[in-house]
Amino acid sequence: MTCLQAAAPRVRQVSENQCHMCMPIGAVAVFKGIENAMVLVHGSQGCSTYMRLANVEHYNEPVDIASSSLNEKQAIYGGEANLRKAMDNVIRVYQPTVLGILTTCLSETMGEDLERIVTAYVQEKNVSGVDIIPVNTPSYSGTQSEGFWAATRGIIAYYVRPTLPHRRINVIVPHISPADIREIKRILDGAGLSYTLVPDYSMTLDRPYGGRYQKIPPGGATVKEIVEMSGAPVTIQFGTTCPDTLSPGLYLEKEFGVPLVNLPLPIGLKNMDLFVETITKISGQPIPDALMLERGWLLDGMADSHKFNAEGRPVIYGEPELVYAFATLCAENGATPVVIASGTKNSLIAERLNQVIESADEKPVILEGADIAAIEESALCAGSNIAIGHSGGKSLTERHGIPLVRIGFPIHDRIGGQRILSAGYRGTLAFLDRFTNTLLETKYATYRQKIKEELCTTRGS
């Protein structure tokens, strides 16, 4: 039986230990990246508790998520009254200027008409000073990745209006760590570009110590800048795996004629070079010296580690955009992935990875809509010796001894998920060192045992 055959039945039947999280979780992160925004989940208490827990464990910050607290009664008679009460309370207690309302499996199954409820509420209560933005996030039709794109596109579509042309470029990021957003901003600043980056949770979900506690932390993209995204000379979107229907950059291009440059995340040498090439073309300036230095350090690090990395047989899983970036990074460092997987269906990964796969001696198994059980099975079948992904795959280590290099969301069994840096030349080098050292650690921990086994085999034969 091939690895592909081994994995296929599990993918088709039941989900066992999901590789993804639910759709509204991705949307929560987006609203946390808008200035003075609060988020309310229209569903049961359980949904918002699960989302709070996942976010708090990952970001190590208080992450407030309100709930309309639906129960059995509302499931039958409708949840409008609960949602109205929840909006009253959130507006009174948090005083947000932006309020995102997200649906859940329950409210979607009940058929709640979010758009109508919100419009009626705003009109009847004569609400002012807060923009209420509903986003449909039924988890049974998408993962956190689709939820992230849907909310980003929803916010942009809600605010952007025709405006006079200006020089600020649009930058749209996928679900990455606050540290990665800060690195992308640092690179843009270094190139002398002014920009509107959406969503920007680099400060709201990773706050420095000190100061007074604020119910809504300072930071995030401002509404004023989002409104004016229509006048930007270009949109850089790190979303090569983003479906067209959810693409914020495509929306801006179609509705307002802002040219879209859709790039892979700047993780890995080639991907980062592509980003640098794009921004230098836009700015008309040479590559900043500091970046050239960082590129040189990365090349040096790649030369140092390539002899070890050739032994790596990585299994890579998680959100499509990250999986794509890390798969190309591994391939350019001699560790061609043997299993590439995402919990997202129709992730476009296979299509995007064609080039990497074509030149590989051994074709990787690509799984979409996969659970961790299917990934484990394929990893074992393919003889994988290292994993790259979120904490959901820790069973690869616990059950099968395959070490895991943690990236993505959620990281709930280690500290510092919000600080994991993989973007830029610096981030790529930091990841590469982690990856190589993980391979070396396994090598030094197991080589005596391996020699013993080989001797036994030789003597036995």
Residues that bind ligand SF4 (CB under 6 A): 22, 24, 43, 47, 50, 104-105, 139
**Least distance between ligand SF4 and beta carbon 248 (Å):** 22
Decide whether 86 or 181 has the Cβ nearer to ligand SF4: 86
**Least distance between ligand SF4 and beta carbon 287 (Å):** 44
**Least distance between ligand SF4 and beta carbon 376 (Å):** 22
162 Cβ contact list (under 8 Å, min separation 6): 230, 256
Decide whether 43 or 393 has the Cβ nearer to ligand SF4: 43
Q: What angle do CA 422, 424, 428 make, to 5 degrees?
A: 45
Six token digits for residue 225: 């800048």
Six token digits for residue 208: 């420095």
**Least distance between ligand SF4 and beta carbon 43 (Å):** 5
Six token digits for residue 137: 């996030």
Decide whether 24 or 33 has the Cβ nearer to ligand SF4: 24
Q: Which residue reads 């309310």 in tokens?
A: 40
Decide whether 246 or 382 has the Cβ nearer to ligand SF4: 246
**Least distance between ligand SF4 and beta carbon 7 (Å):** 23
Six token digits for residue 54: 């996942």
Decide whether 108 or 183 has the Cβ nearer to ligand SF4: 108
**Least distance between ligand SF4 and beta carbon 134 (Å):** 15
Decide whether 49 or 446 has the Cβ nearer to ligand SF4: 49
Decide whether 107 or 378 has the Cβ nearer to ligand SF4: 107
Q: How far apart are CA 211 and CA 87, in angstroms?
A: 28
Residue 364 exposed, middle or buried by CB count within 10 Å (0-12, 13-18, 19+): buried
Please state whether 220 falls in left (phi above 0), alpha (psi between -120 and 50) or beta: left
Please, are residues 40 and 87 in contact by the beta-carbon 8 Å criterion?
A: yes
Half-sphere exposure for 258 (CA within 13 Å, toward CB): 32
Q: What angle do CA 239, 243, 249 make, to 5 degrees?
A: 50
**Least distance between ligand SF4 and beta carbon 137 (Å):** 7
